[in-house]
């Protein structure tokens, strides 16, 4: 189980295509996983996801542990059955949300105690409990409990890294279910030596796959790319590599170029709910008055249900009128946009044209200002506190 | 065009089945129209509606006049094209919303001046402008502008009725498009003599169909049924009869028994958004803790996508977690519930068993307390002001 077969490698970059075999189906990599935080990719049904071409869905253990409870999900036969998604699933350990969402947290060598962002109730995660929760959920790919420090704080990263490595060993020891691939998570902030140390330590523990965590959390894109440049070469070539919480289309293209196989991000679904459509030219804001009478589809040429049936004018009307359908239709497009991007990336890797595609893509795609992006992200996090 | 063919009549009641031919397809009556206030049946795509078996959709001229503007919809080829619904559409005249939602209104013989509930802007509807707006929208069935008084106020109803009749004649004179069926609207509050007078007056004007308005707006169910008992016999047998804004499943069964052919109501979609599922036993409140671990579908035996794929426990989780998908799935079920109810009603009329069905249905269906219902409705109206 969990065989990873490399099917093509790009001669001009670290990009590769592969097939990762999971109990709920084969994943063609590079793959993008839409985020189903609370056992639903917001506004989409499982059949909408399948129609969009999604193959892998991520769910958040922290949220599901708090509500409805991982035990209840287990009693329903696991997350696949509970949420009606028959394909591969990935769960995180809950660590990231404890460090970003919980009202209070106190880390010790054994685990982390925190207060729920929902009701303030006191809870505790340990490596063993994080594995137990994820075994209840039953995802195909599961994660070690890790600590996610401020990426710029050297001293904190050093301390946290020791705990993250010790917890990885305990997670590995605690795992009981052979049908779940437990990935180790490389941490180390923006510090190359820590990243290398982390990658080597985890590599020696022989996980069936490796995640790169603690990126896209406040550092610059250049810092993120630099960390991939030093980390990926330290990871075994024949294991899948997962860049957690990334990303933006441009970051995916750059991540693939650096050898990443798996991505997940709330970006396409969150941007959609804010009235933004992803296009190859960048984001299109449907709330803009420019689109009041625009008969074009969201992204001309797109084959999604939204673009095949509705005008920008209609979508804008739905957003202005605060109609729920707006969120659904924009999400339908944005998820399909990401899946088509991954399809195209894989095709270019197979034909050896990935680096030319990368250049063309980055020339056309207008990247939102980083400062604006970070401010929006921080405001959103403060407001929602719920992975929304 | 707009031929109405009676295909079966119930020997024991005024119930009948028929086929109403419209430019966008034949309607099998009795028919229930889900409400698409702002050019969308909330949370459903046109294909969701088609899958639920919906054939007729209602949209509100008042809302579309204010936003995005009926002229814009006209420029997109009309409402069918704008919202992507290929089947029959019905629009009201805007009168009801002016009298129930607008911030201010001042009626005179010529029309009504009001302030928008959205931005307080000043607007005016006349019979001629109501027809022009509905010609812009291009629905298959359109309505005369009417005045909707408090159903219990005799003096107001007398005055309003005279205006409603004068406006009906002006609407008829103003109509230019032959491919839209303009219905007259019977008013008269809870006063049998006014209802009879109104029905006779409009009958003599020879509309292609007749609506009964001003009911289900605060009077008791018994009063509503009594008004149907006196009104329907005055309407021509070979024209379709439309009971506006009704209704609840029990009211539909009672309306059909009294000879009504067309119904519309926000009830199934609004109840869904409040966490309620319609079942043959009455409403099921998904927020109730009873359903926390309930593996049953919303309504066992239902063939909708929601009931075929998800448990009450999952739906309850989505509602508790405030996930948009909850609204979509519950709406999917409730609309399908209404369509199946209409299918079954038509089948029983055809086989002459409608009155037995009526008795069985009413015995099983637990009707919410009227006082509670009216209080909820009033609170909702106050809060939303947007037909939601």
Contact A317 B39 (CB under 8 A): yes
pLDDT band of residue A374 (cuts 50, 70, 90) is low
Q: What is each CA distance from B226 to A171, A356, B189, B223, B233, in whole angstroms?
A: 71, 76, 11, 5, 12
pLDDT tens, position by position, B163-207: 999 999 999 999 999 999 999 999 999 999 999 999 999 999 999
pLDDT band of residue A385 (cuts 50, 70, 90) is very low
pLDDT tens, position by position, B328-387: 999 999 999 999 999 999 999 999 999 999 999 999 999 887 666 666 666 656 654 444
Q: Which of residues 63-82 of A touch B (CB under 8 A)?
A: 63, 67-68, 72, 75-76, 82
pLDDT at B369: 74
Chain mean pLDDT for chain A: 95
Q: Has residue A23 got a pLDDT over 50?
A: yes
pTM, rounded to two decimals: 0.95
ipTM > 0.85 (yes/no): yes
Q: Has residue B1 got a pLDDT over 90?
A: no
Which of these ranges, A87-96, A250-259, A341-350, A361-370, has the smallest mean pLDDT?
Answer: A361-370
Tell me the pairing of strands A141-143 and B181-186. unpaired
Which residue does chain B place closest to A314, by CA atoms?
A: B82
Burial A317-349 (b: 16+ CB within 10 A, else e): bbbbbebbbbbbbbbbbbbbbbbbbbeebbebb
Which of these ranges, A215-224, B214-223, B370-379, has the smallest mean pLDDT?
Answer: B370-379
pLDDT at A63: 97
Kindly report the nearest CA distance between residue A69 and chain B, in angstroms. 10
For B83, phi then psi, to 5°, come to: -100, 0
Question: DSSP alpha helices (H): ranges in A94-238?
Answer: 95-100, 127-137, 154-174, 192-204, 221-231
Contact A68 B317 (CB under 8 A): yes
Percent of chain A's residues with pLDDT above 70: 95
Contacts of B324 in chain A (CB under 8 A): 42-43, 324, 327-328
Instruction: Determine whether A136 is an active site residue.
Output: no
Contact B76 A314 (CB under 8 A): yes
Q: Which helix (H) or strand (E) holds A330?
A: helix A324-350
Question: DSSP alpha helices (H): ranges in chain B?
Answer: 46-52, 61-66, 70-75, 79-83, 95-100, 127-137, 154-174, 192-204, 221-231, 249-257, 267-273, 305-309, 312-320, 324-351, 354-364, 370-384
Q: Which of A39, A45, A323 sits opposite B40 (nearest CB)?
A: A323
pLDDT tens, position by position, B8-63: 999 999 999 999 999 999 999 999 999 999 999 999 999 999 999 999 999 999 99
DSSP notation for A226-284: HHHHHHGGGS-TTS-EEETT---HHHHHHHHHTT--EEEESHHHHHHHTTEEEETTEEE
pLDDT at A382: 63
pLDDT tens, position by position, B73-118: 999 999 999 999 999 999 999 989 998 888 889 999 999 999 999 9
Instruction: Decide if B238 contacts B348 (C-beta within 8 A).
Output: no
Contacts of B66 in chain A (CB under 8 A): none
Q: Has residue A341 got a pLDDT over 50?
A: yes
Q: Tell me the mean pLDDT in the region A157-177.
A: 97
Mutation target vs B (from A45, A67, A298; most B CBs, 10 A cutoff): A45
CB-count burial class (<10 Å; 0-12, 13-18, 19+) for B238? exposed
Q: Which of A67, A84, A293 sits opposite B75 (nearest CB)?
A: A293
């Amino acid at each position: 189980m969990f065989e990873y077969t490399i099917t093509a490698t790009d001669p001009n970059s670290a990009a590769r295509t592969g097939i990762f075999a999971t109990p709920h189906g084969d994943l063609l990599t590079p793959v993008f996983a839409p985020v189903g935080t609370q056992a639903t990719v917001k506004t989409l049904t499982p059949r909408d996801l399948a129609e969009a071409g999604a193959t892998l869905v991520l769910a958040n253990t922290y949220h599901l542990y708090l509500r409805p409870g991982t035990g209840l999900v287990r009693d329903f036969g696991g997350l696949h059955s509970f949420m009606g998604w028959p394909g591969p699933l990935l769960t995180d350990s809950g660590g990231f949300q404890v460090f970003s969402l919980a009202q209070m947290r106190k880390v010790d060598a054994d685990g982390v105690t925190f207060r729920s962002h929902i009701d303030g109730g006191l809870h505790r995660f340990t490596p063993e409990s994080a594995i137990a929760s994820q075994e209840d959920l039953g995802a195909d790919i599961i994660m070690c409990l890790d600590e996610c420090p401020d990426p710029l704080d050297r001293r904190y990263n050093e301390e946290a890294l020791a705990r993250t490595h010790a917890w990885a060993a305990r997670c590995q020891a605690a795992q009981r279910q052979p049908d779940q691939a437990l990935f180790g998570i490389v941490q180390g902030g923006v510090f190359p030596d820590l990243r290398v140390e982390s990658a080597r330590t985890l590599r020696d523990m022989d996980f069936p796959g490796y995640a790169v965590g603690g990126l896209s959390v406040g550092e610059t894109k250049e810092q993120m790319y630099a960390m991939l440049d030093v980390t990926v070469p330290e990871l075994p070539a024949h294991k899948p590599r997962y860049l957690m919480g990334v990303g933006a289309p441009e970051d995916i293209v750059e991540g693939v170029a650096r050898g990443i196989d798996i991505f997940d991000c709330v970006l396409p679904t969150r941007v959609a709910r804010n009235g933004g459509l992803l296009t190859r030219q960048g984001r299109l804001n449907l709330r803009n008055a420019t689109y009041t009478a625009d008969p074009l589809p969201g992204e001309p040429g797109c084959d999604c249900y939204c673009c095949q049936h509705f005008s920008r004018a209609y979508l804008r009307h739905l957003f202005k009128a605060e109609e729920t359908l707006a969120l659904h239709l924009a999400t339908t497009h944005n998820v399909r946009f990401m899946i088509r991007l991954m399809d195209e990336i894989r095709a270019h890797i197979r034909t050896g044209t990935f680096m030319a595609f990368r250049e063309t893509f980055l020339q056309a795609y207008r990247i939102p200002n980083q400062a604006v992006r970070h401010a929006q992200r921080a405001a959103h996090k403060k407001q929602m506190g719920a992975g929304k």
